[in-house]
A and B are shown apart, each in its own frame.
Chain A
């Protein structure tokens, strides 16, 4: 069945370091791919998405490219800030109703 495998955390980085959180997926058909972020005490928020192969989603300095050949959607940011500390979830959906989430990766950025 459809699934998402996400890099396990926790991840701790110094401010201004580079971030990559790996995400790979298994799905039939052509899913849309998402990254959600959950800041402490808040709900999940959509960070970025890509709906077809080779699309790049970007928001708040984060980027992820939909790679069909490697079935991946890795999240990247060139220079993290303390305010980026949160839990990040990779997800896929084929019909906008059912979402398959990864396990979440906790990121802590230290000054």
Chain B
């Protein structure tokens, strides 16, 4: 079956540093990728939708300058948390839509801890 590889699976960083999370579709092309965030005991929340070759669409309340999303190819999207702070500590998960279908495949998630 289709696989989405997300990494790293966990990362600890110092406050003020930037962290990049990668999301790759390994055996299919993904025209659209989605980034979600989940705070403890809360729902998964959509942060942004990215389409290959165009700017990401951010949900209300998500700072686009803080959460930089790049979807430069049909198999790779990256989320960069810039100048991370402890309140950015969360579980981030991506999903990818297989080109030409409505099927979504999810990465395994990244647990970010900012000290």
Question: Is the CB–CB distance between A43 and B43 below 8 Å?
Answer: no
Asked, given contacts A96-B102, A97-B32, A101-B36, whether A44 binds B95 with beta carbons under 8 Å apart, the answer is yes
Main secondary structure on B side of the interface with A: strand
Bound together, the chains give a CA A56 to CA B64 distance in angstroms of 39
Bound together, the chains give a CA A104 to CA B103 distance in angstroms of 21
Question: Is the CB–CB distance between B46 and A99 below 8 Å?
Answer: yes
Question: Is the CB–CB distance between A98 and B46 below 8 Å?
Answer: yes
Which residue of B is nearest A5, CB measured?
B43
B12 to chain A, nearest CB (A): 19
List 12 interface pairs A-B (beta carbons < 8 Å), by A numbering: A43-B6, A43-B93, A43-B106, A44-B95, A97-B34, A99-B34, A99-B44, A99-B104, A101-B36, A101-B44, A103-B41, A104-B38
B41 to chain A, nearest CB (A): 6
| A: contact size bracket | 20 to 34
Q: Which chain A residues (65-104) contact chain B, with CB distance < 8 Å?
A: 89, 91, 96-104
A41 within 8 A of B: yes
Bound together, the chains give a CA A36 to CA B109 distance in angstroms of 14
Chain B residues with a Cβ under 8 A of chain A: 4, 6, 32, 34, 36, 38, 41-46, 49, 93, 95, 102-109
15 more CB-based (< 8 A) A-B contacts, given A44-B93, A97-B32, A104-B38? A3-B43, A4-B43, A42-B108, A43-B4, A43-B93, A43-B109, A44-B106, A46-B104, A96-B102, A98-B46, A98-B49, A99-B34, A99-B104, A101-B43, A101-B44
Asked, given contacts A43-B105, A44-B95, whether A97 binds B49 with beta carbons under 8 Å apart, the answer is yes
B43 to chain A, nearest CB (A): 5
A45 within 8 A of B: yes
Question: Is the CB–CB distance between A41 and B108 below 8 Å?
Answer: yes
Bound together, the chains give a CA A104 to CA B93 distance in angstroms of 14
B6 to chain A, nearest CB (A): 7
Which residue of B is nearest A40, CB measured?
B108
Which residue of B is nearest A36, CB measured?
B106
